[in-house]
Amino acid sequence: MDTDLEARAKEFAAKDPFPLQSFSHLEWWVGNAYQTAMFFRNLLGFSIVGYRGPETGVAETSSYLVESGAIRFIVTGAQVPEHPVAEHVLLHGPGVKDVAFLVPDAEEAFELALDRGAEVAYKPFVTESDRGREVAGGIKAYGETIHSLVERDGLFPDFEPRDDPIAVSAGLHTIDHVVANVEDMNEWVDWYERIFGFTMLKHFDDEAISTEYTALMSKVMWDGEGIIKLPINEPAEAKKRSQIEEYLNFYRSAGVQHIAMATDDLQTTMEDVHARGLETIHVPDEYYDEAKVRVPDLDADWDRIMANRILVDADEGGQLLQMFTKMIQDRPTVFFELIERRGATGFGLGNFRALFEAIEREQGKRGNL
Ligand code: FE2
């Protein structure tokens, strides 16, 4: 996090009755933590900076702590089939279990969330080692996803630090937004208003983001400061099965659909990750005929934008560049967005149709359209 954003977060936390300071981390529950950590490392430029497992006194799970800039993921797999992680993966496939936030006082935040009607995922507990001290309590969110409320002093105390001298960053530095797919969007809009005191930043109705086949509605909930943005999607009526419905069918519940990670130079980041073998969605040539009309004063070289198949958009605040990866597991559930904001505060509304048409081509190939 840059110092400017950090100062703003602190100032905001001082006056907010429910001070979420920033994302702490996302925890993934997967079938093979080692390979998932390697995927994040080798294709997206994360460093493996910590490990927790049988060798460090945790018998039933293995976890890797990976980071890129201020983005931190914990990737956890089970050692035994009866473990909740194994059961979760059997039902949902690999996915995000925990979208965790940093707070100044975890017990206070946890109690306040309960007072406001949140359900307990786990009660606050303290973890301490010579590396740091952490207090964390969890509340239930959409599907089987939870939000940990984390207060941390120092490093992650339960992870044995690791050096990763050969990891090379791809420039990803911050989580820009985390998107949920749910059955009932308004239920969760109300929930984030009630529990976290969030407000709605934007609302996209099905008119705005429908194609011939797919339709969804989306509301973006945020903390009012732009540090935490959580768009929530629900399927809308369409001719055929929408991508949100496909997600809900394959994930078997509501859950995290995509995580947008910010870079200051998406063109260089894309050249880097493409060279590493990361697969991104197919963008047809015709997309750029339309994009050149929609964003005529793009501050970039169109040939380089096209060579990297980058999507472009503009709103009243400025321009944005973005790209979406293919699904990162076998089921059509979770993927990443890579984004560079050049003043734009939106989410690429102008791209949604182009994006959905691209996604539908992939969905059609799987026979799920
Ligand atoms: Fe997004």
Share of the chain above pLDDT 70, in %: 88
5, 226 contact by CB (below 8 A): no
Question: According to CATH, what is the number of the domain 172-366?
Answer: 3.10.180.10
pLDDT above 50: residue 1:
no
- What mean pLDDT is predicted for residues 338-352? 85
Distance of CA 69 from the midpoint of ligand 1 (Å): 19
pLDDT above 80: residue 63:
yes
- What mean pLDDT is predicted for residues 23-41? 98
Distance of CA 338 from the midpoint of ligand 1 (Å): 9
In this prediction, residue 356 has a pLDDT band, given cuts at 50, 70 and 90, of: low
Tens-digit pLDDT profile for residues 89-142: 999 999 999 999 999 999 999 999 999 999 999 999 999 999 999 999 999 999
Distance of CA 368 from the midpoint of ligand 1 (Å): 22
Output the pTM of the full model.
Answer: 0.91
Residue 17: its pLDDT value, please? 61
Distance of CA 12 from the midpoint of ligand 1 (Å): 24
All residues at 6 or more sequence positions from 362 whose CB lies less than 8 Å from its CB, including other chains: 281, 282, 326, 332
Distance of CA 194 from the midpoint of ligand 1 (Å): 24
Distance of CA 136 from the midpoint of ligand 1 (Å): 28
Distance of CA 359 from the midpoint of ligand 1 (Å): 14
* CATH 3.10.180.10 location in the chain: 18-161, 172-366
Lowest-confidence range among 5-9, 76-80, 111-115? 5-9
Write the single-letter amino acid at 276: R
All residues at 6 or more sequence positions from 6 whose CB lies less than 8 Å from its CB, including other chains: none
Most confident by average pLDDT, 10-14, 54-58, 237-241, 364-368: 54-58
- What mean pLDDT is predicted for residues 84-93? 98
CATH topology of domain 18-161: 2,3-Dihydroxybiphenyl 1,2-Dioxygenase; domain 1 (3.10.180)
Distance of CA 191 from the midpoint of ligand 1 (Å): 21
pLDDT above 50: residue 300:
yes
DSSP-assigned states of every residue in 5-61: HHHHHHHHHHH-SS---EEEEEEEE-S-HHHHHHHHHHHH--EEEEEESGGGT--SE
Distance of CA 179 from the midpoint of ligand 1 (Å): 7
Distance of CA 176 from the midpoint of ligand 1 (Å): 8
Cα separation values, 38 from 35, 43, 61, 231, 351, Å: 5, 8, 17, 28, 31
- What mean pLDDT is predicted for residues 361-365? 74
Tens-digit pLDDT profile for residues 306-343: 999 999 999 889 999 999 999 999 999 999 999 999 99
Q: How many helices (H) and strands (E) does the chain have?
A: 10, 17
Lowest-confidence range among 2-6, 57-61, 267-271? 2-6
In this prediction, residue 290 has a pLDDT band, given cuts at 50, 70 and 90, of: confident
